Amino acid sequence: MNQLSAKQVEQQIKNNKKMTLIDVREPEEVAAGKIPGVINIPLGLLEYRLHELEKSEEYIIVCRSGSRSGLATSFLESRGFNATNMSGGMISWEGAVEIAGQYQPAR
């Protein structure tokens, strides 16, 4: 499974790398803080929302600690998607976050 650290993902965002971030946490978890621009697809709904994804795109998968995103990454890879797990999850994220529509700068 492909993996990047939270710091590596943050650097790719700063470098404007073309990729889509998918947060597989539940909506109430995402509401407490998310990476700006991330798409929320809870892990339990991922298989039902595959039609929304493109196999030609690169996806970075995010969760709280890296566990659920690891499962989602493996699932997406098994279906032919280019997916990478953000190891350490939001616990390790030091970049900017969005909380209830408000932008919070990096720690």
Active site residues: 63
Are the CB atoms for 66 and 86 separated by under 8 Å? yes
SS (H, E, C) 26-84: CHHHHHCCECCCCEECCHHHHHHCHHHCCCCCEEEEECCCCHHHHHHHHHHHHCCCEEE
CA distance 51 to 58: 15
Are the CB atoms for 62 and 69 separated by under 8 Å? yes
